[in-house]
Structure formats: C-alpha cells, structure tokens
C-alpha cells in the first residue's frame, strides 16, 4: 500500500499511527501542501477532494484510492482486525467512535489551515484574532473530551489499550502545542499523551520523524 500524506498534516498523522499500531508497513509519498501539490492534476485524479491522506490499496486485482482518514482507519481495522484499534464490545466501539468524531469532525475542520487562511484572508481577521479562534476551538473540544474520558480512559482514551481515539487525539494535541494552547485544564489528555509518547508506534508517526519534515 502507498500512503500519500504530509508530515505535519494531522489526518496523515492519524493514519500513520493506525498503521504503526497494526504493524503494517507502507510506502509513503509526500504531498507538499505548502507547494499546493494536493491540487495538482495528478493528485486530484487520486483524491478529487484535493486533501491528504490518500491510501492506495492493491486488492482484488485492482488499485483503489481511499480517502478520508477515518474511513481509512476503519478499512484497516476491518481488513486486519488484530491488533484491534476498536474494543470488542459493541457499545464500547460506539464510545470510541464518538471520541474520534469529536476530534475529527468538531475540532479538526475548524482549525484546518485552509479555514485559518480564509479567516485572515477573505474575512480580514488579524493574527491575534486567528489565535483566539484557534485556541477557542481547542478549548471547546478538549473540555468536552476530558469529560468523556472520565468514564472511558485508563492509560489511553479507552481503557489500557491504544487505539483509534488515541490516533485521533495525538495529532490534535501536537497542533495545540504548536499554537501554544494552555492544556493545564486537561490532565487526562496530558496523561494519555505521555502514555502514547512511550510507544514506538506513536513515536515513529510523529511529524518530525517523517522523511518530508525539515527536521528529518
Ligand atoms: N476529513 C478529512 C480531512 C482531510 C484534510 O483536511 N487534510 C488537510 C491536511 S490535515 C489537507 O489536505 N489540507 C490541504 C488543503 O486544505 O488544501 C480526513 O479526515 O482525511
């Protein structure tokens, strides 16, 4: 399989964590978002949305392009069920998916670079207003997630096994740190971050570990 992504893209980061947790090796093709490579004709032929990630899969004699990080993680889970990214219990699986959706649908899109660019461009927001916006949506999301974690978390978002919710959480924490958000009010999230940092699957997925990172 081939993963088209960008080192600092949180959605690519999610998929890298999921692949690493499952022990699946893939080829990686960098798509430089700063150079607008995601909008090149060649890339749009794979992913009409012009977003990363895209996972290219060879299966049943054909090559298929999968987009949307949550759909990709669900594919990986169904195709290679062990080690699992979701718990066995049906209700528990729904709880983990709720956390994933909070992170991926209520937080990530609001603070996506193209939204921030629109704010400071067409909407005329200042850099300071951009930061207020960014930090507001981090606080709003993390406050709710922190409450959900009171009933679900062990060492990780759900119990003591790392999984799909942790793969969604870690990139959001990474982004929040880049924008110097105050995370002191979220002790459970910080404890989960520390637990994830101990694992090779999460370490190897970090943006600065990727070949297209300037830090590499
Ligand atoms: N819901 C999508 C979001 C994908 C997305 O927003 N990707 C960003 C990077 S994190 C992107 O490609 N941005 C490029 C652009 O906005 O032009 C997913 O989960 O895969």
What element of type H or E holds 83?
none
Residue among 7, 8, 11, 108 whose CB has most ligand 1 atoms within 8 A, to mutate: 11
Residue 102's pLDDT is 98
Residue among 52, 69, 207 whose CB has most ligand 1 atoms within 8 A, to mutate: 52
Closest ligand 1 atom, residue 31 Cα: 12
Q: Whose CA is nearest to atom 2 of ligand 1?
A: 68
pLDDT band at residue 7, thresholds of 50, 70 and 90?
very high
Overall average pLDDT of the 99-126 stretch: 96
- Cα 103 to the center of its chain, rounded Å: 8
Indicate if the pLDDT at residue 192 is higher than 90. yes
Domain spanning 2-82: CATH superfamily = Glutaredoxin (3.40.30.10)
Overall average pLDDT of the 58-67 stretch: 96
pLDDT digits (tens, 9 = 90+) for 50-62: 999 999 999 989 9
Q: What residues are paired with 29 via a beta bridge?
A: 4
Residue 211's pLDDT is 96
Closest ligand 1 atom, residue 67 Cα: 20
Non-local (6+) Cβ contacts of 77 within 8 A are 18, 84, 85, 86, 164
Q: Whose CA is nearest to atom 10 of ligand 1?
A: 9
Residue 107's pLDDT is 97
Residue 70's pLDDT is 98
Overall average pLDDT of the 33-60 stretch: 97
Overall average pLDDT of the 39-53 stretch: 97
90-201 folds as: Glutathione S-transferase Yfyf (Class Pi); Chain A, domain 2 (1.20.1050)
Residue labelled with tokens 């998916």: 97
Indicate if the pLDDT at residue 67 is higher than 90. yes
Q: How far apart are CA 100 and CA 171, in angstroms?
A: 12
188: left (phi over 0), alpha (psi -120 to 50) or beta: alpha
CB atoms within 10 A of CB 216: 10
SS3 content of the chain, % helix, strand, coil (to 5): 60, 10, 30
Can you give the residue ranges of every domain in the chain?
Answer: 2-82, 90-201
Q: Whose CA is nearest to atom 16 of ligand 1?
A: 114
Residue 216's pLDDT is 81
Q: How far apart are CA 181 and CA 102, in angstroms?
A: 18
Q: How far apart are CA 65 and CA 52, in angstroms?
A: 11
Residue labelled with tokens 């927001």: 125
Task: State the average pLDDT for the chain.
Answer: 97
Overall average pLDDT of the 86-109 stretch: 98
Ligand 1 neighbours by CB, cut-off 6 Å: 9-11, 33, 38, 50-52, 68-70, 104, 112, 114
Residue labelled with tokens 């979220």: 186
Closest ligand 1 atom, residue 12 Cα: 10
Q: Residue 143 C-alpha to ligand 1 middle, in angstroms?
A: 24
Non-local (6+) Cβ contacts of 112 within 8 A are none
pLDDT digits (tens, 9 = 90+) for 155-183: 999 999 999 999 999 999 999 999 999 99
């Amino acid at each position: 399989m081939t993963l088209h992504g960008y080192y600092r893209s949180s959605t690519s980061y999610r998929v890298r964590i999921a692949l690493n947790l499952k022990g699946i090796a893939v080829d990686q093709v960098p798509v430089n978002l700063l150079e607008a490579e995601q909008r090149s004709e060649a890339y749009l032929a794979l992913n009409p949305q012009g977003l990363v990630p895209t996972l290219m899969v060879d299966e049943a004699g054909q090559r298929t392009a999968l987009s949307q990080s949550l759909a990709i993680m669900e594919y990986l889970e169904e195709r290679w069920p062990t080690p699992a990214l979701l718990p066995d219990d049906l209700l528990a699986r729904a709880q983990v998916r709720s956390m994933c959706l909070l992170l991926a649908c209520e937080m990530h899109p609001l603070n996506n670079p193209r939204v921030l660019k629109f704010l400071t461009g067409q909407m005329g927001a200042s850099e300071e207003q951009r930061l207020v916006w960014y930090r507001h949506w981090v606080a709003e999301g993390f406050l709710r997630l922190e409450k959900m974690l009171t009933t679900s978390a062990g060492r990780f978002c759900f119990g003591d096994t790392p999984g799909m919710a942790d793969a969604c959480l870690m990139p959001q924490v990474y982004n929040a740190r880049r924008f110097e958000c105050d995370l002191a009010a979220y002790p459970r999230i910080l404890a989960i971050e520390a637990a994830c940092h101990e694992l090779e699957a999460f370490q190897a997925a970090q943006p600065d570990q990727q070949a297209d990172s300037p830090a590499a």
